């Protein structure tokens, strides 16, 4: 019973932290009319995105509240006619500049190099840069609201995390873990105030930076060989003595990251090893997650079979508290919580499997993404 009570206390403390982060410390940019006077460049890297760039680019062209908006698009070696789609959607709009990217040189990965090319070719008058991925669709005032929140936070980098669109069972199991992990384990207020690079998080789907601070931190050249270039960029900003901030961007943007299970599986596999670092650290973290969130329902069933209803009740309560933390996270970030949160123990198991697969393929130098090696 003592062990189950300790488990209950730990899960309760983490769920309480999730609630505090979600209700008190998480920034929420205004979703309504906002206007910024400064020049802003939106930067869109594309590689084989012909089938999904249209909604994204149309949403960029429909932005309001940014009179001095410029959009720079980079075709990064696409072979599916992405550039032709961009030209058709842009329709000669003089706010749009389409660039042809060059292959990354030795020491660079594809995404950082594409972002670096975009940043160096953006309008020199732009004082803020907004990096957007092709699977993101912005609300009409998203760029203006994000830049306004960047300035209000007095930060160099703001990550307004989009609402993640989930349609398949695999989506619903895995995708909500992104927001849940940082709302549960990352102290948001301390992250903003602390200069420690280890206290950093960011999502590259939609990222807004102060251009001067971005340049001073080394820009994407500082993270040229990093798989998780978004988090590493946030750390580089902190190392330069500047501030970062996270925000709930669910009212500003939606993101459908992967179309099917193979894409989702491979997308996470390519980068999970970089999230945890050394395999020993990954094993320790995953063991703790499995103990806290997967063991309670199993312990409850085992206790019932063994005729220990009191132990079963405590273990079931621990499971429900874990479910509550997942629900709080989902509701705070525009996600679906019912009945998905009930499957949280299974989600943690799938995360463990994806992480093991990531280390396995990295050890064999078989990790790649969109035709390019990533490790």
Instruction: Please report whether residue 374 resides in a domain.
Output: no
- Domain boundary residue, one of 258, 291, 319: 258
Same domain, 51 and 167: yes
**Measured distance CA(60)–CA(142) in Å, rounded:** 9
Model confidence pLDDT, tens digit, residues 73-89:
999 999 999 999 999 99
Model confidence pLDDT, tens digit, residues 249-261:
999 999 998 889 9
Give the pLDDT mean for 139-154.
97
CATH number of the domain at 211, please. 3.90.550.10
Give the pLDDT mean for 327-346.
94
Same domain, 125 and 171: yes
Structural domain of 206:
25-258
Instruction: Please report whether residue 372 resides in a domain.
Output: no
Model confidence pLDDT, tens digit, residues 358-369:
999 888 888 876
Same domain, 66 and 212: yes
Give the pLDDT mean for 109-136.
97
Same domain, 295 and 355: yes
Same domain, 239 and 128: yes
What pLDDT is attached to residue 363? Answer: 85
Q: CA-CA distances (angstroms) from residue 163 to 175, 182, 247, 332, 334?
A: 10, 15, 11, 10, 6
What pLDDT is attached to residue 375? Answer: 62
What pLDDT is attached to residue 117? Answer: 98
- Domain boundary residue, one of 258, 291, 315: 258
Q: Give the DSSP letter string of 275-333.
A: HH-SHHHHHHHHHHHIIIIIHHHHHHHHHHHTT-HHHHHHHHHHHHHHHHHHHHHHHHT
Instruction: Please report whether residue 313 resides in a domain.
Output: yes
Using DSSP's 3-state secondary structure scheme, residue 42 falls into strand
Same domain, 101 and 228: yes
The answer to whether 184 and 14 are in contact (CB under 8 A) is yes
Q: Average pLDDT of the chain? A: 94
Same domain, 290 and 206: no
**At a CB cut-off of 8 Å and minimum separation 6, what does 328 contact?**
15, 18, 19, 22, 183
**Domains in the chain, number:** 2
Same domain, 129 and 246: yes
Whether the pLDDT of residue 341 is over 90: the answer is: yes
Same domain, 273 and 168: no
Whether the pLDDT of residue 50 is over 90: the answer is: yes
Same domain, 355 and 207: no
Same domain, 169 and 282: no
Same domain, 126 and 109: yes
> How much is the pTM?
0.93
Q: Which helix (H) or strand (E) holds 93?
A: none
What pLDDT is attached to residue 307? Answer: 85
């Amino acid at each position: 019973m003592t062990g189950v009570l300790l488990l209950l206390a730990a899960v309760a403390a983490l769920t309480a932290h999730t609630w505090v982060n979600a209700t008190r410390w998480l920034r929420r940019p205004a979703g309504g009319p906002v206007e910024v006077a400064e020049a802003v460049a939106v930067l869109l890297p594309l590689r084989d995105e012909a089938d999904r760039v249209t909604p994204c680019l149309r949403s960029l062209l429909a932005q309001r509240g940014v009179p001095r908006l410029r959009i720079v698009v980079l075709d990064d070696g696409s072979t599916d006619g992405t550039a032709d789609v961009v030209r058709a959607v842009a329709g000669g709009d003089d706010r749009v500049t389409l660039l042809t990217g060059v292959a990354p040189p030795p020491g660079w990965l594809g995404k950082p190099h594409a972002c670096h090319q975009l940043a160096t070719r953006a309008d020199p008058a732009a004082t803020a840069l907004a990096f957007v991925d092709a699977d993101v669709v912005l609300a009409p005032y998203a760029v203006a609201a994000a830049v306004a929140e960047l300035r209000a936070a007095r930060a160099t980098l703001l990550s307004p995390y989009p609402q993640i669109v989930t349609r398949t069972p695999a989506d619903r199991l895995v995708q909500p873990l992104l927001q849940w992990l940082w709302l549960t384990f990352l102290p948001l207020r301390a992250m903003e105030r602390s200069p420690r690079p280890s206290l950093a998080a960011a999502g590259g789907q939609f990222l807004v930076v102060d251009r001067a601070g971005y340049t001073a931190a080394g820009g994407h050249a500082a993270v040229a060989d990093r798989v998780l270039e978004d988090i590493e960029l946030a750390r580089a900003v902190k190392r330069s003595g500047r501030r970062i901030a996270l925000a709930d961007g669910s009212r500003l943007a939606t993101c459908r990251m992967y179309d099917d299970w193979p894409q989702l599986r491979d997308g996470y596999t390519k980068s999970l090893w970089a999230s945890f670092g050394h395999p020993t650290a990954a094993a320790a973290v995953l063991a703790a997650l499995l103990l806290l969130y997967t063991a309670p329902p199993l312990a409850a069933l085992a206790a019932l079979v063994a005729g220990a209803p009191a132990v079963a009740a405590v273990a079931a309560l621990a499971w429900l508290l874990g479910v509550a933390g997942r629900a709080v996270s989902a509701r705070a970030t525009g996600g679906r919580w019912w009945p998905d949160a009930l499957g949280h123990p299974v989600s943690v198991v799938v995360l463990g499997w994806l992480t093991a697969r990531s280390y396995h393929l990295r050890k064999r130098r078989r990790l790649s993404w969109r035709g390019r090696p990533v490790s």
